[in-house]
Chain A
Amino acid sequence: MRLWKEFVKFFSISIFLLLPTFALKTFAQKQIPTIVGISVCGDGQIDGFEVCDGDNFGGKTCANYGYNRGYLLCVDNCTRISIEKCYVEPGGMGAGGGGYPGGAMRPLGPTTLIILGKAYPDTEVKILKDGKEIARVKTDSQANFSWQTTDITPGVNSLSFWADDKFGLRSILYTLTFEVMPNAVTTVRGAYLPPTIGVEKNVVKRGERLKIFGQTIPEAKVPVFISSPAEIVQETTSTKTGEWDLLFDTTPLTDESMHTAKCQFKATIEGSTVVSGFSRFVTFYVGKMAPAGICPGADLNQDGKVNLIDFSILLYYWGTNNSCADQNQDGVVNLVDFSIMMYYWTG
């Protein structure tokens, strides 16, 4: 009996401790993906936000709309069923199904890609394909952006996005790798850029308040994660124009050491709770003097961009101890430094 009691106690303590620890570890180690999804209009399958696809109307015919003749059309990239070709014929024998009449083949459309996402209000989103900038689009006051192209090769494509906010802070490079189907419309929804983040000062005295700020989508919750021996999480909310800030009391942080802060947004979008990926991390020093950073952010030629030129410089110094290319200062330019460059890539 005593053994059973101890077992129950052991189990309850384990569950009690397991849940928060698991949650903490998940937050600390993994990037939580946003609700990003792909639907392919033209593959005959109704998926994602689609209501029809090609001749597939999910069993619906003109009869479902009160007609007894004609056929349905799948329009607006599979997001709307058109009854334009449905009609009523007195004494008609019944409604036709969906799709093209007489079993005619639907003409093959161009390979099309549509991206729908959010960044920051009234900014410009840079779009990269396979690491090279191919387009720029404006966001509206609600931070929405959309981009459509037919200039895309079917197959595996890597589309990346980044933007500068109203403070000049840069987002992470948000990359989506997926297959583009030939002669179909591939729609990617939920390309949400994580918030931008910056700190008012790079060096603060312990106990001083540090302003951490940035921009994200309007009226979203912004949890900010500050590294210390144990991660500190504080939450704030963005304004109607997406700006957010947090006055963080640095008392709990270790003195004379570097610390990092990162954030994400949480919001309800189209009825779903969306949690963005993590922002860039910003570093700040708590203490008197911070060590100087050499070529920070993998911008090896200091031109404000991280692209093929910086990659070329990195390759030039590969295997050497060049202090600029050696981003992690471990004495050798290698894959670790390349990985840091991939993180900061702007194209």
Chain B
Amino acid sequence: MKTQNSKIKSQNFNLRLKTLILALVFLNLPTFAFGASLYLDPKEGEYFLGDHFGIKIRVDPEGECINTISVDLLFPNDILVLEGIDFGESIITIWVDKPSSGDIQKINENGKISFAGGIPGGYCGRIPGDPGMTNVVAELRFYIPSMIVGEMSEKTREVKLLESSQVFLNDGRGTLAKISVQGAKIKILPTSGKGLNEWKEKLLNDTTPPAPFEIQIHKDSSIFDGKYFIVFYTTDKETGVDYYMVKEGEREWKIAKSPYLLENQNLDEEIKVKAVDRAGNETIATYYPQKPKEFKDTTPKNQTTVKKILSIAISLILILVLIFILGFLIKKKLLNKKVKNRSI
């Protein structure tokens, strides 16, 4: 009887243990969540030959606060041509790596787009009442060439966000968020479309230059061998800053990135930085030298020679006069000595 009881007790214990384990498994399932999702909008679309269209890359932090986004994306470059990337609406403010208009050709050759940047203080999702979605990372503007009109079959291809894309949590530790990525399906119909180019229109309508900015000059013993460098940065809410150019003194404009090591380390020349947006609007920031420019002698060479000869001659005359006076004084002293000796 005792054995039977203990057997029942043992069975009950096992059952309770199983129940507890099952419960633990059960409760852990629904609390598992992705840290963020990167997705393309629209996720599918039908387009015609000759069509121009945009696909937005959006991020949903899904309740987390994130601060760094790195995107790797593949597109079918055999049927799609990337016309441009619109960063005007982007939530990213500080860019580590951002393709410029000059990189578009290379991107089209590879069919791969990569960029990365961050939001100081992080992004925690859409604020209640915000009139916009405010989660755009970038908008890709594509064109379907009508040259493939000969191929009359319907095509469905995918624009893929790669798993190598990364999102980091705003936790001060650089924690990589678990992300889900969702691409977009592009169905191309073998007929000609309207050919309306919204991107071109946006570029034409964008007459707002990038926001005004400052050039900051610094030197730090830890970088550029302690030499002077400049930092600069601005934003453009319409189509995004495309590139920067730097001009030191009378030198030529150069395409540059911040930080930029100055050629002229004397800081005695004007420095200009030009921010150009994707529509070609410009904002120029100027640094005026604090040190007055060193005086450069600009008088003609002939005059210089005459001046030099004159000054040498005057100096020689002065030296001769001095020698004469000195000789006269010495002679006088010697004569005085002689007179004294005779009197003794």
Give the residues in chain B near A173, CB-CB below 8 Å: 120-122
CB pair B89–A155 under 8 Å, yes or no, is yes
Give the residues in chain A near B119, CB-CB below 8 Å: 158, 175, 177, 342
Q: Mark A288-312, 1 if CB is under 8 A from B, else 0.
A: 0000000000001100000011011
Given contacts A13-B20, A25-B31, contact A343 B93 (CB under 8 A): no
How far apart are the CA atoms of A126 and B229 in the complex, in Å? 26
Across the interface, A36 reaches (CB within 8 A) one of B67, B127, B171, namely: B127
How far apart are the CA atoms of A39 and B127 in the complex, in Å? 10
Within 8 A of A (CB), among B113-144: 116, 118-132, 134, 136
- Contact stretch, chosen from A73-81, A217-225, A264-272, A332-340: A332-340
CB pair B216–A308 under 8 Å, yes or no, is yes
CB pair A153–B259 under 8 Å, yes or no, is no
- Contact stretch, chosen from B145-153, B220-228, B294-302: B220-228
CB pair B131–A335 under 8 Å, yes or no, is no
Question: Is B27 located at the chain interface by the 8 A CB criterion?
Answer: yes
- Contact stretch, chosen from B231-239, B273-281, B310-318, B321-329: B231-239
Question: Is A6 located at the chain interface by the 8 A CB criterion?
Answer: yes
Question: Is A211 located at the chain interface by the 8 A CB criterion?
Answer: no
How far apart are the CA atoms of A25 and B33 in the complex, in Å? 11
Question: Is A216 located at the chain interface by the 8 A CB criterion?
Answer: no
Question: Is A331 located at the chain interface by the 8 A CB criterion?
Answer: no
- Contact stretch, chosen from A27-35, A62-70, A94-102, A232-240: A27-35
Give the residues in chain B near A17, CB-CB below 8 Å: 23-24, 27
Q: Mark A308-347, 1 if CB is under 8 A from B, else 0.
A: 1101110111100000100110000001111111111101
Closest-CB distance, A26 to chain B (whole angstroms)? 8
Within 8 A of B (CB), among A151-175: 153-158, 160, 162, 172-175
Q: Mark A175-194, 1 if CB is under 8 A from B, else 0.
A: 11111010000001000000
How far apart are the CA atoms of A311 and B223 in the complex, in Å? 12
Q: Mark B19-49, 1 if CB is under 8 A from A, else 0.
A: 1101110111011000000000000000000
Question: Is A130 located at the chain interface by the 8 A CB criterion?
Answer: yes
How far apart are the CA atoms of A312 and B261 in the complex, in Å? 11
Question: Is B197 located at the chain interface by the 8 A CB criterion?
Answer: no
Give the residues in chain B near A6, CB-CB below 8 Å: 15, 19
How far apart are the CA atoms of A33 and B216 in the complex, in Å? 35
Give the residues in chain A near B168, CB-CB below 8 Å: 335-336, 339
Question: Is A140 located at the chain interface by the 8 A CB criterion?
Answer: no
Give the residues in chain B near A311, CB-CB below 8 Å: 94, 231
CB pair A155–B231 under 8 Å, yes or no, is no
Q: Mark A1-27, 1 if CB is under 8 A from B, else 0.
A: 000001001100110011001100100
CB pair B134–A280 under 8 Å, yes or no, is no
How far apart are the CA atoms of A247 and B223 in the complex, in Å? 43
Across the interface, A131 reaches (CB within 8 A) one of B68, B93, B123, B128, namely: B93
Give the residues in chain B near A38, CB-CB below 8 Å: 127-131
Give the residues in chain A near B237, CB-CB below 8 Å: 153-157
Interface residue tally for chain B (C-beta within 8 Å): 68
Across the interface, A14 reaches (CB within 8 A) one of B26, B70, B127, namely: B26
How far apart are the CA atoms of A309 and B303 in the complex, in Å? 49
Give the residues in chain A near B238, CB-CB below 8 Å: 155
Question: Is A143 located at the chain interface by the 8 A CB criterion?
Answer: no
Give the residues in chain B near A337, CB-CB below 8 Å: 174
CB pair B222–A342 under 8 Å, yes or no, is no
How far apart are the CA atoms of A154 and B30 in the complex, in Å? 40
How far apart are the CA atoms of A43 and B20 in the complex, in Å? 55
CB pair A301–B19 under 8 Å, yes or no, is no
Q: Mark A112-138, 1 if CB is under 8 A from B, else 0.
A: 000000000000000010111000000
Across the interface, A178 reaches (CB within 8 A) one of B22, B127, B235, namely: B127
CB pair A9–B134 under 8 Å, yes or no, is no
Across the interface, A324 reaches (CB within 8 A) one of B120, B134, B222, namely: B222
Name the residue on B nearest A153 (C-beta): B237
Given contacts A156-B90, A343-B172, contact A338 B96 (CB under 8 A): yes
How far apart are the CA atoms of A308 and B220 in the complex, in Å? 13
Question: Is A47 located at the chain interface by the 8 A CB criterion?
Answer: yes
Question: Is A286 located at the chain interface by the 8 A CB criterion?
Answer: no
Question: Is B291 located at the chain interface by the 8 A CB criterion?
Answer: no
Question: Is A109 located at the chain interface by the 8 A CB criterion?
Answer: no
Closest-CB distance, B59 to chain A (whole angstroms)? 11
Question: Is B64 located at the chain interface by the 8 A CB criterion?
Answer: yes
Question: Is B9 located at the chain interface by the 8 A CB criterion?
Answer: no
CB pair A316–B63 under 8 Å, yes or no, is no
Most chain A CB within a 10 A radius of its CB, from B89, B170, B218: B170
CB pair A315–B132 under 8 Å, yes or no, is no
Question: Is A86 located at the chain interface by the 8 A CB criterion?
Answer: no
Across the interface, A177 reaches (CB within 8 A) one of B27, B68, B134, B172, namely: B134
Closest-CB distance, A150 to chain B (whole angstroms)? 15
Give the residues in chain A near B220, CB-CB below 8 Å: 301, 309, 313
Give the residues in chain A near B342, CB-CB below 8 Å: none
Name the residue on A nearest B120 (C-beta): A345
What are 30 A-B pairs with beta-carbon distances under 8 A? A14-B22, A21-B28, A22-B30, A29-B64, A31-B124, A37-B127, A37-B129, A47-B129, A128-B120, A131-B93, A131-B233, A153-B237, A154-B237, A156-B136, A157-B237, A173-B120, A179-B134, A309-B218, A312-B218, A312-B259, A315-B96, A315-B259, A318-B96, A335-B70, A335-B96, A335-B174, A338-B174, A340-B173, A342-B68, A344-B172
Query: What 14 additional pairs, Cβ within 8 angstroms, besides A153-B211, A313-B220, A335-B96?
Result: A13-B23, A18-B31, A30-B64, A47-B129, A131-B93, A156-B237, A177-B119, A301-B220, A311-B231, A312-B218, A312-B223, A316-B259, A342-B170, A343-B172
